[in-house]
Amino acid sequence: MTELRVFTIADQIDEAKACRTVRFRGSLHADPGQFVMVWLPREDEFPMSVSYVGEGFGLTYKIVGEGTRSLSTMNPGEKVGIRGPYGRGFEVQGRRMLAIAGGVGMAVIAPLVDLAMEERADVDLVLGAKTESELIMKERCEMAGANVHISTDDGSSGTKGLATDIARRLLQTAEYDCVCACGPEKMIVSAFRLSEEHGLPFQASLERYIKCGIGICDSCAIDGRHVCSEGPVFSGDVLASLEDLGRRRLSPSGRIVSLD
């Protein structure tokens, strides 16, 4: 049983436009990629990836609805309920990692870079965003020791184009032991294809509508797999078996809808 715990907000900062990081007093240990359910009493509860682990842990989020908007206006000293961490996170496989992050997916990749550094692995990180102002945690990962490559859709920073374009070039020139990705599902699908072409182990974090968070209600199901308990990080051999990957998801009622 994972009990609901109450944590006090220590600080909140803007990471980018409509993207914030909230840090808490106290400690929460999680693997990179694991998530927590954040509860704002009488308002909402939603899943969030842990972007800073351990003492003073933090969550990074995009303001997408009323719940996250409400969280973004909370001040230091205010309290929220948190249950978790839940699910399976990333593993560092081997000594040379290629990490690919799209947009706010970087919030999941950043603690993975930290873990890779702890395990003395080399990391090439490709960070992609629509535009320069949406790039997050670049300095953090550079300081941690990753080789950071930037792509933006509009060319305002780094190479103009997709993160997977840079990843394709890196894979042609360097050797890696594993590829890890978090971001839009279309990006994940492309990254997965690249890793398959190079015969590399692959892991990616998926996103679905999560209700219970504990692997029973089936709301986050994708082809009989449960994102909240068996994921959100899945390995390539599981991803290869998912017909709905990049195509379909469940709505809150359980209706199958297109991912777009």
Partner 1 sequence: MNGLEVEIVGLRLRNPTILASGIFDETGRSMLEVAKAGAGAIVTKSVSMQERQGYPNPCVAEVECGLLNAMGLPNPGIAAYADEIAMGRQGGVPVIGSAVGSNEDEIAEVAASLCSAGVDAVELNLSCPHADGHGMEMGSTPEIVRNVCDIVSARIDKPVLAKLTPNTTSIASLAEAAEEGGADGVVAINTLKGMTICPELRAPVLSNRVGGLSGPAIRSVGVRSVFEIFEAVEIPIIGVGGVSTARDALEYFMAGARAVQIGTAVRSQGTAVFSEVCWGLTKFMSDNGYESISDIVGVAHDDRA
Residue 14 Cα to chain centre, angstroms: 18
**Residue 14 or residue 66: which is nearer to partner 1 going by CB?**
66
Does the protein bind partner 1 through residue 221 (CB under 8 A)?
Answer: yes
Asked if 61 contacts 48 with a C-beta cutoff of 8 angstroms, the reply is: yes
Residue 42 engages partner 1 in binding (rule: CB under 8 A): yes
Q: Which two tokens stand for residue 196?
A: 């398959």
Counted residue by residue, the chain has a size of: 260
Q: Select from 13, 200, 227 the least CA-distant residue to 124.
A: 200
- Does 124 bind partner 1 (CB under 8 A)? Our answer is no
Q: Interface with partner 1 includes 25 (CB under 8 A)?
A: no
Q: Does 134 bind partner 1 (CB under 8 A)?
A: no
> Rounded CA gap, 37 and 213, in Å?
7
Minimal CA–CA distance to 90: which of 41, 50, 55? Answer: 50
**Residues of span 50-109 touching partner 1 by CB under 8 A:** 79-81, 83
First to last CA, the chain: 35
Residue 248 CB, shortest distance to partner 1, in Å, is 11
Whole-number Cα distances in Å, 165 to 146, 152, 159, 172, 185: 19, 11, 9, 11, 16
Query: Shortest Cβ distance from residue 202 to partner 1 (Å)?
Result: 22
Task: Pick the closer one to partner 1 by CB: 201 or 215.
Answer: 215
- Residue nearer to partner 1 on the CB measure, 154 or 223: 223
For partner 1 (CB under 8 A), the number of binding residues is 36
CB of 229 to partner 1, least distance (A): 9
Q: Using CB under 8 A as the criterion, which residues of the chain lie in contact with partner 1 when the complex forms?
A: 1-4, 6, 37, 39, 41-42, 44-46, 79-81, 83, 211-219, 221, 223-224, 226, 250-256
